[in-house]
Amino acid sequence: MKEEYNKDGEPYSLTGDNCATFASDVLKQDENVKSEVSGTVINTPKNIADAYRSVYDKVDYSKSTGTIITPTKTLGQKIKDFFGL
């Protein structure tokens, strides 16, 4: 289904309606993600990416090398965080 461009929609901006705020809105449809990642004051793509990377592991994909997951925290730190230590 093709959707028409909304001429009356919010204009694109670096700190407001942009690709990162769209991606964040999509991810927040999952209640687990919504509860774990707080919003950022300045909604630039870099700030939003940093907010997610502070909670979730970094995932990069390359067609030639496949998926690479880089943990944001060690397993030991994740366990400590889980138990509030």
- Lowest-confidence region among 4-8, 22-26, 50-54, 71-75: 4-8
Look up residue 66 and give its DSSP letter. E
Number of domains in the chain: 1
**How far is the C-alpha of 27 from the C-alpha of 83, rounded, in Å?**
25
Whether 5 is in a domain gets the answer no
Q: What is the pLDDT of residue 3?
A: 65
Q: What is the pTM of this model?
A: 0.49
Tell whether the torsion through CA atoms of 80, 61, 14 and 11 is positive or negative.
negative
Whether 78 is in a domain gets the answer yes
Q: Quick one: what percent of the chain has pLDDT higher than 70?
A: 85
Rg (CA), the chain: 16
Whether 8 is in a domain gets the answer no
Mean pLDDT of the chain: 78
Whether 54 is in a domain gets the answer yes
Q: What is the pLDDT of residue 39?
A: 62
Q: Would you say residue 19 has pLDDT above 60?
A: yes
Domain enclosing residue 60, as ranges: 19-83
At 40, is the pLDDT very low, low, confident or very high (cuts 50, 70, 90)? low
